[in-house]
Each structure stands twice: as structure tokens, then as C-alpha cells.
Structure 1
């Protein structure tokens, strides 16, 4: 386990950048994820301004302290050992603005809310995102998509902070967006805002599409339980959920984690599961599908943090 020294002097120096009330020491991360699992963060910082993000990155570099960014925790699993160093949340950077057919959303805004704001201005292009639970930043990170649409279809630019703490604007093509991936993690970018080019449309037509997609989501997905959403990417030529279903894995689990009976592509936290149990179920599914069909299921969700001390 990585050892990071967090003392009063460290917190005092950090509080010169971020207000003291926005700094939490030894913060439980299960309160910050959709799965309701995960250990503690050494230091949990909530940023309210772009300048704070730039300065916190530089501070972490100067102090040689690990640095981790989280959105609203909808597509990640945090291990039971927690996260060392600084964990930065951008949830307060959630402004959404519409300028003509351009929608500009800050990283911490929910992509669902961006979709709804587009609807309110009769703008088409983000209908597919009306049921995606993540933030705008997280949506760019993995080029989120659903029902035939994806972020790369409508993104024109992104404002990011780089590893050195510098703010820069990048064209969408600079992010190498492809199926459920981008170069954002490899480059260490922190997405601050996204700029989308949408099209004028009929409010009623856009709403009808969103209502239909919402109905499909609510009728097919186990929204009554905590989960990280769809766990696996779609393997070429197959559907992950169908492979899992045909492997007779629905309802199978370890501890409090279980493959959903409602949608085989989801693993739910049915009864106070630990992250270790949840991850073990992921591995069980991958092994079983590989043995039965010879297909490697690749995770769509991100696993971060450290294993608990034994």
C-alpha cells in the first residue's frame, strides 16, 4: 500500500488554494459513488473554480502526492483500501449554457441535465444521453454512448487542464474518441468543459425520442439497486448481456454483489457489497463467458484505488 504523509502543514498549505470547508481528510468514498462502495480518500477536495483545479494539480506535483479525479462515481469502482493522496471532485462545476445551437457544459454537470437543457431549447443531438447517469467530464473520458449515439457525434471542443496544471482548449479530434474510450486518461487531462454542436429541431419530436429511450432504460435496467451501470463493452459480433445470460449467470453472486436478474449486463450491490466482492463477480463473469464461449469480455467500468490491508 502506498504511504502518503498528510499532516497539518500539508492541509494548511492546501487551504490557501481551496477553502477549508471544501477539504475533507479521510473521507469515505462510498458516499461519492453509484455503487455505494469503496474505502476512504486521504484528502477529498471539492473545487469550485477552474483556477482551483489548476492550482491543486500544481500543488500535488510540487508535493509529489498522487492525484485522482472523480466525477459523480457512476462508472467506476473504488477498491476497499481507498485512494491515497488527493481526490478531486468537480461536482460543483456544473453550469450549462446554450448559445444558438452550441451547448457548453462544465465537467461536473450531469450529461442527463445537458440533454434536458438541449431539449428545453429544441436542440437535437443529445437525446441518446438522456439516461446516462455520469457527468459531462466522465462522458468525454469514455466517449459515452447509448442507443446509437455517442459523444463524438456532437462534441466540437473541450477545455482541459493538463498534467502541469495548464488550461487549454482542444478540438474534439485531438481526443481520439472511439468506442467507449479516448486519449484523455493517457494524457492525464482533466476535462473542465465540453462544447457541443447541436441542431435545431422540433421540441415535441425530441421529447418523444427522449421519452421512448427513458422508458426502455427504466423497463430494462435494475435502477432499484446501486450499480456502476453497464459493466462490459460490447465484444465484436456479440452482446455482452446475451453472453452472460446464456452462461446462466443471472442471480449468481458473491457476498452482497450479484449479476442482475433484470439485465445481465449489470452487476448490482444487492446487500451491502464490498468493492472486493463486486470485483470478484466481474472476474467470475469474465472467466465463465471465456470458458463457455471463448469470448473475452472487456470492462467498460474503471477500477481505481488500493486493495484493503489483509
Structure 2
């Protein structure tokens, strides 16, 4: 009953509501069952009201951007999914070297916007298949760059519906982590300070890094990028390869033959297929090397 009240409120706030939406359409792994309902968030204000109502009415919810680091149960998600998508992807210049971007803005769009304004510092993020919200939440990084190097502040919605601004030095940004993973606040926008650069140099760097990604990563298959976090002093992909797990397959899921740090959906994989591969890799690597690989992908259960 309370779930329907929340969805009615969402409609009143001009958010599009879809029932029984397949989560495979909203995750880069392309797996997962259906959710009770999906709400396409229309603004920061509508999100704030919905988050507050969800807590007051005890309605289970999760926030999704591009779904590039999520693995939903094959049965789906019993609850409401708040989609931070193209309705909240505004991007604009705040001054000559500072960009404001809403959480639904894709990283590729953000990088191209920086390029158009001759700003350098975000090249590392070009090709990461996430959104601004997800990138801040995970402190996304690659090729010696990370979000913590360029972000100055972010807005987020708290459980009581208030909007809060957090400065970068209060975000506890570290390897694939941030304060938002603990405090439960929902990121709605970020502010990035970059440096003036030359258009051609910035573009060349973006093209170079994209080329490196394509040559070394299995971008031709659905995945969530690197499946495991990097153990201190080691590389997950090398540990997996050294344990003879390259190409290990369960159903449609496989340890990539191109890059062992990736578990990919070769076609028709279920979430359980992927989880079986992940569990096997963790078991074998721990048994043979002593390292326990921590999953970088967030696994979302069907029920609480």
C-alpha cells in the first residue's frame, strides 16, 4: 500500500513510473529480473521528496544511474528503483575552469564537455561507462587519474529529504570508496575544477586512452568493468590469470580471455552464472595465493 502511495507521489512530481521494469535494460551486465517499479527522477527536488517519503513510509528503494557496477538478482528487486538518467543530466560552466554536472550526466558527456571548453584533467574518465553520480560514489579512476583529483564539491539528498553540499575534503574519497557508501545519501550533482589545456592535446589523450581500453579490455561483451578490487601490492587480473582461470566459464558468464580482471556476459548469462564465476575465482585465488579478492561490483539482493 505504501509503495503505491510513493509511486502516486512520483507521478504527481512529474516523474515517469514504469511497473515491472526489466533490470537487464538498466545494467551493463544485462542481467537481473524485474523491479516492482522504476521511477525516472525528474529533478533534485522530486528526488528529495521521494527519498523522504520512502523513509517515512518504509518503502525499499535503490538509486541507479547507468547500472555499470550493479548486479541484480535473477528474481529482480522487490522495491522501487529511482533512475537518475537523462532527466537529470544537466551540465554547465560555472566559471572559466569549473563544471557543474547533474548526477545523471554520463562521464563521456562530461569529458566531451570539458574538451569543448579546452579543459584538461578528466581524460582518464573517457570511456568509463558510468554517470557522474556513480563516479563520485565509487571515486572512479583509471590510468593514474581519479575523481578525487578533480572534484570540489557535491550535492546529495539525505534520508529526511534535505539537500546537503559536501566539500571534496569531507567526502573520504579513497580507492573505490567515498563517504556516500556509508551515509546513504543520494548524490544529485558534482562540481569539477579543471585546468586550461589545448584542445588537440586533450583530444589526443582521450583517443589514446580509449584505444588502450579497446585493446586491453573486453568492451565487446556486457560487463561491469573490473569485477574485483585491486589487492594491495597486486593486480586482480594477474592473480586470476596465474591461477589458470582465464576463460573459466559457467553458463553464459566467463572470466574474460582478453583481461582476467573482467567477468563478462558472453551471451545469455544469468546473474547466478556471474555469481558462480565470481565465487569460484575468489575460492581458487584464496586457496592458491592467500589473497581474498573483494568484489568491486555491488550485488543487490531480491529482498531485504
Alignment counterpart, residue 94 of structure 1, candidates 72, 89, 109: 89
In the other structure, the counterpart of 1:204 is: 200
1:39 aligned onto 2:30: no
Where 1:277 maps in the other structure, the secondary structure is helix
Alignment counterpart, residue 139 of structure 2, candidates 115, 137, 143: 143
1:84 aligned onto 2:78: yes
Q: Distance in 2 between matches of 1:172 and 1:186?
A: 16
CA change 1:11–1:135 in 2 (3 A) is: closer
Q: Distance in 2 between matches of 1:74 and 1:176?
A: 22
CA shift at 1:77, angstroms?
0.7
Alignment counterpart, residue 271 of structure 1, candidates 263, 267, 273: 267
CA shift at 1:147, angstroms?
0.2
Answer whether contact 2:10 2:46 (CA < 8 A) is retained.
no
CA shift at 1:271, angstroms?
2.0
CA change 1:14–1:49 in 2 (3 A) is: closer
| Aligned counterparts, 1:1-310, within 5 A | 6-7=3-4, 11-19=7-15, 22-91=16-85, 92-98=87-93, 99-306=95-302
Unaligned stretches of 5+ in structure 2? none
Unaligned stretches of 5+ in structure 1? none
Where 1:134 maps in the other structure, the secondary structure is coil
CA shift at 1:196, angstroms?
0.5
Q: Distance in 1 between matches of 2:228 and 2:112?
A: 27
Answer whether contact 2:250 2:277 (CA < 8 A) is retained.
yes
CA change 1:244–1:105 in 2 (3 A) is: same
CA shift at 1:198, angstroms?
0.4
CA shift at 1:169, angstroms?
1.1
Answer whether contact 1:124 1:206 (CA < 8 A) is retained.
yes
Instruction: Show CA shifts across 1:258-294 (max 9, x none).
Output: 1010111111111211101101111111111111111
CA change 1:208–1:13 in 2 (3 A) is: closer
Q: Which runs of 4+ in 1 moved over 3 A?
A: 4-7, 9-14
CA shift at 1:300, angstroms?
1.2
CA RMSD in angstroms, aligned pairs only: 1.4
Q: Distance in 1 between matches of 2:89 and 2:164?
A: 19
Q: Distance in 2 between matches of 1:253 and 1:5?
A: 42
Where 2:225 maps in the other structure, the secondary structure is strand
Answer whether contact 1:79 1:275 (CA < 8 A) is retained.
yes
Q: Distance in 2 between matches of 1:5 and 1:188?
A: 21
| Residue-pair matches, total | 301
Q: Distance in 2 between matches of 1:201 and 1:12?
A: 48
Q: Distance in 1 between matches of 2:244 and 2:14?
A: 50
Answer whether contact 1:30 1:36 (CA < 8 A) is retained.
yes
Where 1:170 maps in the other structure, the secondary structure is strand
CA shift at 1:6, angstroms?
4.6
Q: Distance in 1 between matches of 2:7 and 2:98?
A: 40
